[in-house]
């Protein structure tokens, strides 16, 4: 057994991110440092040559992650999700990072599969293709055949990936803390981002969680009466933390389908017909599934890019790779449903009021200016939706939440991870639907709302019928429902005010505490310096003569002034961060 194989077997038993070794951190930190210096040099060159722009900044950051390599590419891809922190041009460039890396040694992959299985591979598999059908930074995917004759896909996690993730996150932590300490950004700017990245990386490596999401997804779409959406079967008995075995999905890849539709070839229609695909029907199904996942599903697939989607005959949709999933609260789903209804009713001012409850608690800002900006953006979006000549990119349903992201980024309002991931996921769904058929309009959304309302009414009717034998209980049940509805509406109206008042009080108290702490530390530092000087004089200490001291005092003064400015800026940024919270 080789050293790599032994390392692979140890990695199978490890879950989560391991502790970082000093040597590994130093090695990875050196690589990050070199790439960071090149980034600074290129950024200065862009400024001097007048080429500075959102897109150019995104290109430079993409080059940084590509030069660091390894799991840093995955880090860049995860950062592309944070549209609430980074401009759209930067997110677009980071999203284009290629996660294609050379495959792992097949002997190591076999060792990992066997260790997870707990018995010889020959007892389960008749053949495992040594050439992977997919090779990314986290895992490799192999095609295999069971003794039962079924073809399966085996996803094998790379043995050293937890260590690499841990080292890259530790290096990123230190770079982020230095940026905060040096006041390039406000203090605590990256705190939540660092936490969110750890959550996302841990989910990417946990194949047990991924298998659970995939099983529950198949069950949920069946209950929702959507037989045309599914996910490959999970072989739970053959899977584990480092290996995931699923059914092998065959069909047309989403990327291949879009390439053919957008190629402009005259034989596109016949190509689609040969494969049993109706583009208009498929686009409507993608959009309807997007609406269901957004407003009714217990969780959503957070990375539905075309590479994770397969289309089979009769316009059936198969979703792959459930390594990134998210959830939304009931309150958020209710708010988003209300936004959709208001969008159909052409009421931008009401949309702004609902969105404000999603963004609360808000920092101290000019609410009139904030509300006016949101009203204008939502009004322009609704006008574009009603304009049949507008490009499809202006009419996608996710556009209303993209406007909210833009406002949140402008006013530095932090949004939670699942909300940002849901907006990105539904943007991918809507973009896919409109790229397949750009003629889709709001009529499909209206149809979904009517169907959803009919389902809710049917559920209520069935519930009332169950109590029809006793009229007294039926009336009581109806009154309880009405009471609950009114209570929820009242609570939703009061929540922003309560949260805002609490946030204001906490911010004021925290600012006062921070200022007092800063003054106490400054007083202590001055006192200790005075005591040290007094003690030195009492003991007769004399400083040695320094010939260049008289000539260097301006330098000392400048350095001291810079240190003082950094400390003062640190305090101001800390006060601003408290106010924003």
pLDDT single digits (tens) 63-110: 888 888 766 777 777 777 676 667 777 877 887 776 667 888 999 999
Query: Residue 154: phi, psi to the nearest 5?
Result: -110, 115
Computed over every residue of the chain, the mean pLDDT equals 76
Per residue in 336-368, pLDDT tens?
778 878 877 778 888 888 877 777 666 667 778
217 pLDDT band, cuts 50/70/90, is very high
The gap from C-alpha 206 to its chain's centroid, in whole angstroms, comes to: 17
pTM of the model: 0.70
Query: What's the chain's length in residues?
Result: 581
The gap from C-alpha 535 to its chain's centroid, in whole angstroms, comes to: 57
In this predicted structure, which of 240-249, 270-279, 540-549 has the lowest mean pLDDT? 540-549
Q: Say what percent of the chain tops pLDDT 90.
A: 14
Per residue in 522-535, pLDDT tens?
666 666 666 665 66
Place of tokens 């990072």: 97
CA distance 426 to 24: 38
Q: Residue 551: its pLDDT value, please?
A: 47
For residue 234, give the DSSP letter.
B
CA distance 291 to 221: 13
Per residue in 138-182, pLDDT tens?
889 999 999 999 999 999 998 888 888 888 888 878 877 877 776
Active-site pick, 84, 168, 187, 303 = 303
- Other Cβ atoms within 10 Å of 559 Cβ, number: 11
| In the chain, where the domains are located | 3-103+160-205, 253-466, 471-518+559-581
Does residue 303 carry a catalytic annotation? yes
The gap from C-alpha 100 to its chain's centroid, in whole angstroms, comes to: 20
Q: Which residues does 505 contact at the CB level (< 8 Å), separation at least 6? A: none
Residue 126, helix vs strand vs coil = strand
22 pLDDT band, cuts 50/70/90, is confident
């Amino acid at each position: 057994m080789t050293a790599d194989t032994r390392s692979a077997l140890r990695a199978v038993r490890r879950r989560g991110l391991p502790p970082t070794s000093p040597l590994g951190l130093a090695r990875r930190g050196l690589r990050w440092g070199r790439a960071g210096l090149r980034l600074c040099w290129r950024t200065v060159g862009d400024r001097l040559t007048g080429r500075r722009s959102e897109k150019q900044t995104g290109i430079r950051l993409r080059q940084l992650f590509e030069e660091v390599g390894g799991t840093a590419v995955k880090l860049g891809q995860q950062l592309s999700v944070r549209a609430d922190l980074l401009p759209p041009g930067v997110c677009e460039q980071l999203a284009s990072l290629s996660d294609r890396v050379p495959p792992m040694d097949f002997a190591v992959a076999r060792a990992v599969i066997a260790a997870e299985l707990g018995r010889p591979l020959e007892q389960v598999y008749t053949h495992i293709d040594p050439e992977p059908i997919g090779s990314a930074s986290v895992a490799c995917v192999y095609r295999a055949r069971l003794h039962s004759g079924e073809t399966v896909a085996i996803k094998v996690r790379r043995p050293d990936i937890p260590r690499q993730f841990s080292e890259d996150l530790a290096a990123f932590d230190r770079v982020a803390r230095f940026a905060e300490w040096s006041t390039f950004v406000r203090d605590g700017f990256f705190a939540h981002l660092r936490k969110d990245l750890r959550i996302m990386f841990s989910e990417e490596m946990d194949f047990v969680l991924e298998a659970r999401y995939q099983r529950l997804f198949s069950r949920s779409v069946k209950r929702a009466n959507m037989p045309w959406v599914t996910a490959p079967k999970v072989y739970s008995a053959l899977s584990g933390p480092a290996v995931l075995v699923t059914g092998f999905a065959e069909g047309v890849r989403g990327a291949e389908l879009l390439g053919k539709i957008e190629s402009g070839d005259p034989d596109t229609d016949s190509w689609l017909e040969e494969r049993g695909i109706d583009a208009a029907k498929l686009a409507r199904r993608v959009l309807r599934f997007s609406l269901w996942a957004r407003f009714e599903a217990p969780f959503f697939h957070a990375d539905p890019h075309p590479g994770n989607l397969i289309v089979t005959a009769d316009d059936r949709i198969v979703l792959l790779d459930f390594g990134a999933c998210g959830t939304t609260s009931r309150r958020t789903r209710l708010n988003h449903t209300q936004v959709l209804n208001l969008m159909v009713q052409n009421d931008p001012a009401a949309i702004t009021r609902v969105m404000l409850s999603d963004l609360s608690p808000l920092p101290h800002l000019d609410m009139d200016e904030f509300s006016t900006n949101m009203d204008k953006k939502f009004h322009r979006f609704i006008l574009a939706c009603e304009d049949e000549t507008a490009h499809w990119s202006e009419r996608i349903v996710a556009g209303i939440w993209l406007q909210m992201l833009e406002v949140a980024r402008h006013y530095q309002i932090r949004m939670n991870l699942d909300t940002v991931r849901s907006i990105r996921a539904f943007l991918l769904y809507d973009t896919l639907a409109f790229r397949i058929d750009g003629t889709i309009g709001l009529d499909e959304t209206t149809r979904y709302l009517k169907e959803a309302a009919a389902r809710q009414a049917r559920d209520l009717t069935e519930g009332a019928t169950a109590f029809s034998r006793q009229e007294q209980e039926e009336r009581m049940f109806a009154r309880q429902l009405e009471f609950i509805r009114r209570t929820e509406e009242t609570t939703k109206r009061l929540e922003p005010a309560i949260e805002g008042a609490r946030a204001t009080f906490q911010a004021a108290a925290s600012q006062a505490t921070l200022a007092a702490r800063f003054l106490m530390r400054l007083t202590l530092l001055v006192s200790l310096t005075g005591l040290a000087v007094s003690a030195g004089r009492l003991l007769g200490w004399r400083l040695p003569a320094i010939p260049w001291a008289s000539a260097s005092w301006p330098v000392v003064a400048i350095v001291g002034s810079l240190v003082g400015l950094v400390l003062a800026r640190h305090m101001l940024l800390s006060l601003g961060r408290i106010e924003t919270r």
